[in-house]
Amino acid sequence: MPAPSSPLESRPNASTPLVEVRGLRTRLGSKTIFDGLDLDVARGSVTAVMGPSGTGKTTLLRHLTGQLRPDAGSVRIDGEDVTRLSRNALFTLRERIGYLFQNSALLTDFSVFENVAFPLRQHTRLPEELIRNIVLTKLQAVGLRGAAQLMPSELSGGMARRVALARAIVFDPMLILYDEPFVGLDPIALNQVLRLIKTLNQTLGITSILVGHEFSAVRRVADRVFLIANGKLVAQGAPDALAHQDSPWTRQFFGGEADGPVPFHYPAPDYATELGLGDAAR
């Protein structure tokens, strides 16, 4: 009888994808969001998830954090099946995942310093001096150590996004999820955020998954792009290769065509009939 494997032996190796999604099926009400979705995210990569509005990109992030359970399929992060974790195990996993919300979600009554310190105060019993050093280190990483005592109302949109990023990395996560990180940013702030995402991956070995619509920004930072539509993965590849891929999905999405595999008109009864015009309008 073989000896049981040790915890170290059972851990995924560096060549194993950090995120593995298999056969993901999700329905919300009467709508099918995912219908057998499969994808892998390589360790240390920046991966973008794109697709038409309403295709479940943010829903996928909710599956990765265990906020939403699928109807079928599995979601594995660093070898752990998120769909089967106990409540305590899920909370432990979440401490290794940073999340950058679309609207930054800063606490308006807290200073920049206290916003970044908040997760540490909630989930640890670290001494105040150590909390201070960690927070200042993270703010230094995003270029805002000098703004530690400012309030969120005193920040520009780009500064708020960077404070939120400092908070997202306060636990030195293995994975960061970015929900629409480029929305509402001016060109200067956009360049700062792009540089930060790339720098964090290169210097800290963090894996990043970002949801976005701005392909011009995505292609500057992403190693790989997944295009999701109709509940499935319809295209994938390096940004430049994907942009030139000759498929109806990529032509419509990256070319901005109004009609294609994703129709302009939401399914509806016959227009003339619904207006009561009958054959007169034909």
Higher model confidence: residue 60 or residue 1? 60
Q: Give the distance between the most distant pair of CA atoms in the chain.
A: 82
Higher model confidence: residue 180 or residue 151? 151
Domain boundaries, the chain: 19-108+156-245
Which pTM was predicted? 0.81
CB distance 99 to 31 below 8 Å: no
Residue with token string 């790339």: 198
Average pLDDT, the chain: 85
pLDDT of 265: 56
With a cut of 80, say whether residue 1 has pLDDT above it: no
Confidence category of residue 5, pLDDT binned at 50, 70, 90: very low
pLDDT of 113: 97
Q: What's the rounded Cα separation, in Å, for the pair 144 and 54? A: 35
3-state secondary structure of 214: coil
- In 142-257, which residue ranges form alpha helices assigned H by DSSP? 157-168, 187-204, 215-221, 239-243, 248-255
Q: Hey, what CATH topology would domain 19-108+156-245 get?
A: Rossmann fold (3.40.50)
| Mean pLDDT of the region 104-129 | 92
The tens digit of pLDDT for each residue in 214-237 reads: 888 888 999 999 989 888 888 888
